Homo-oligomer: A and B are copies of this chain.
Amino acid sequence: MTTIFDAPEDFATTALAGFYAIHARNARLVKGGVVRSTKVPRGKVAVVIGGGSGHYPAFAGYVGPGLADAAVAGDVFASPSTAAVARVCRHADQGGGVLLGFGNYAGDVLNFGLAAERLRGEGIDVRVLPVADDVASAPVETPDRRRGIAGDLVVFKIAGAAAEAGKSLDEVERLARLANERTVSFGVAFGGCTLPGAAGPLFTVPKGQMALGLGIHGEPGISEEKIATAGELAKLLTGKLLAERLAGTSKVAAVLNGLGSTKYEELFVLWTKVAKELAEAGLEVVDPECGEFVTSLDMQGCSLSLLWLDEELEALWRAPCDAPVLRKGMIIAAEPATEEIIEAEGRQSFSPASSASRDSGQCIARLIGRIADALKDAEEELGRIDAIAGDGDHGQGMRRGSAAAFDAANAAVAAGAGAASVLAAAGDAWADRAGGTSGAIWGLALRSWSNAFSDDERASDAAIIKGARLALDGVTRLGRARIGDKTLVDALVPFVETLEEQAASGKPLSEAWNLAAKAAKEAADATSSLTPKLGRARPLAERSIGHPDAGAISLALTARVAAEFLKEADA
């Protein structure tokens, strides 16, 4: 919801003042709007646009060279008054006439139309252009009943580029009308927006549903459907627009617009699917844009706009512009790089190994396979424990990491690697595939452990015990966690210490390991009574008291699996 304001009724004018304070390089504040802050040649056609507030970057964010000369801003979701439109136009007029662009809504049609009449009476040539791109709002037979949504960006960009190129008002009007006739949009909403000061949203969409054919003033859409996957959504959006494809077109400009709370990365995900659909329809996409261009406060949803290009429109769409909403063209002269990107990986071949060390390597690979099986079984449980105080992905990370480590260990074995190389390769793969902190910790632990081995000799009991200490050192040196921080270190320290003590007291490795694994399990369970380390947010910390740490639990589990493996190897 809209949360930041002082007096709700001052929201729009204060927002405009703040815009000006930030974007003074682009725009100057006048009563009811903004005008370009840079010199404009005498006689240039002025492109003046506008509408209600609540749609930023529409409309003030469109002001700048190559786009709009001025923008008029009404109250939130309300048309600016006739007087405000006329006033802003008087500031913007350079003697070349004015093209007035706005969305096709009753209030805007009225106010911009009346302002145009007034200005004509004052001797300023003004043409009006109501943008009407939303295919959901009226059938194709009555295009002038269609609303304007994110097609605004497309149509205003064409008009702005034509005016910047010094074309006459007749020409600018012709090109803008052509762009308007050839621009189609369709959108969906996942949730409504809340006006400043309002207690609730203007509309709601039932959980799990999406509303088709949204408007940008809280109009919720014309029908509802179950929320689609990105792939299905791309088919829906492109399908509605391709149904109106202009015969003979092979190129389109495309704008994937977020309404406010649907974020960039979601739009990027969707764009990969939209691009696929357009390519399959035989269309070449020219300079696609993906982001927030016409929003509706904090509304959730998105829309796709397409402009069926011809040569003339393509050149205007590609032309440079420099406004907060869109910047095209180069600031710092930069040539495209031409060399191919070749994936530069670290070493993949292994140094020659002795037969004894290769045997140990095989043994290590088998053990990692056993660990991977156990972690796969434990994935859900580890995720559940992690979700109490974290984001619940620990089980998934451990499963992915150990499986990748097993594959890498097998590949190393197959390539004839010795004990040190097999374990190092497993560690690197674990870290690379598991990701996150625990992936790095496990990768580091295995790689550090491998430093106790060599590719010339068999992995001796002494080397294994020394490796455990190296792993602990590596983890505490780079991981920064201390005992008591409620991390895997809480289980790793007693494990390593017990292993060393029991081995020093003469116990065989499998027995010493078994006792160490038990110590790790006890310590992991005891993390229930600990609070997480500093830096964690307080409420999460409180939630996690009484629950063991997922990292410590998974370490203890792994130690137990290894203990069983060693016992079998003894037998």
How far, in angstroms, from A31 to B109 measured CA to CA in the complex?
Answer: 51
- Which stretch, A35-43, A349-357, A458-466, touches the partner chain B? A35-43
**Most chain-B Cβ atoms within 10 A of its Cβ — which of A265, A289, A391?**
A265
Neighbouring B residues of A571 by C-beta, 8 Å = none
How far, in angstroms, from A381 to B267 measured CA to CA in the complex?
Answer: 42
Question: Beta-carbon contacts of A284-302 to B below 8 Å, as 1s and 0s?
Answer: 0000111000010110101
The reply to whether A82 and B261 contact each other, CB–CB distance below 8 Å, is no
Is A411 part of the contact surface with B, judged by Cβ < 8 Å? no
Q: Which of A400-447 contact B (CB under 8 A)?
A: 428, 431-437, 439-441, 443-444
Neighbouring B residues of A118 by C-beta, 8 Å = 346
Is A271 part of the contact surface with B, judged by Cβ < 8 Å? yes
Neighbouring B residues of A300 by C-beta, 8 Å = 1, 3, 298
Is A565 part of the contact surface with B, judged by Cβ < 8 Å? no
B17, B82, B147, B270: the one contacting A4 at CB < 8 Å is B270
The reply to whether A39 and B537 contact each other, CB–CB distance below 8 Å, is no
The reply to whether A344 and B295 contact each other, CB–CB distance below 8 Å, is no
Question: Beta-carbon contacts of A92-132 to B below 8 Å, as 1s and 0s?
Answer: 00000000000001110111011000100010000000000
The reply to whether B21 and A79 contact each other, CB–CB distance below 8 Å, is no
Question: Beta-carbon contacts of A223-239 to B below 8 Å, as 1s and 0s?
Answer: 10001011101000000
Which secondary structure dominates chain A's binding surface?
A: mixed
B5, B79, B271: the one contacting A435 at CB < 8 Å is B79
Is A184 part of the contact surface with B, judged by Cβ < 8 Å? no
Is A327 part of the contact surface with B, judged by Cβ < 8 Å? yes
The reply to whether B218 and A391 contact each other, CB–CB distance below 8 Å, is yes
| Closest partner residue, chain B, to A261 (CB atom) | B261
Is A28 part of the contact surface with B, judged by Cβ < 8 Å? yes
The reply to whether A295 and B263 contact each other, CB–CB distance below 8 Å, is yes
B260, B332, B479: the one contacting A322 at CB < 8 Å is B332
| Closest partner residue, chain B, to A26 (CB atom) | B334
Q: How large is the interface on A (under 10, 10 to 19, 20 to 34, 35 or more residues)?
A: 35 or more
Is A528 part of the contact surface with B, judged by Cβ < 8 Å? no
Q: How many chain copies does the complex carry?
A: 2
The reply to whether B337 and A220 contact each other, CB–CB distance below 8 Å, is no
- Which stretch, A70-78, A151-159, A173-181, A503-511, touches the partner chain B? A70-78
Is A46 part of the contact surface with B, judged by Cβ < 8 Å? no
The residues of A with any CB-CB pair to B shorter than 8 Å are 1-6, 9, 11-12, 14-19, 21-22, 28, 30-31, 35-40, 53-54, 56-57, 61, 65-66, 74-75, 77-84, 86-87, 90-91, 105-107, 109-111, 113-114, 118, 122, 137-138, 145, 147, 164, 190, 195, 202-203, 210, 215, 217-223, 227, 229-231, 233, 260-273, 275, 288-290, 295, 297-298, 300, 302, 320-322, 327-332, 334-338, 341, 343-346, 391, 393, 396-397, 428, 431-437, 439-441, 443-444, 478-481, 534-540
19 contacts between A and B (CB under 8 A): A3-B300, A4-B267, A6-B230, A14-B269, A14-B272, A15-B265, A66-B332, A79-B437, A81-B433, A81-B434, A83-B431, A91-B341, A105-B437, A107-B440, A114-B431, A138-B534, A164-B332, A218-B391, A298-B300
A-B contacts besides A4-B266, A81-B431, A110-B479, 12 pairs, CB < 8 Å: A4-B233, A4-B270, A4-B302, A15-B266, A21-B271, A21-B275, A28-B341, A40-B337, A74-B436, A145-B535, A164-B332, A219-B536
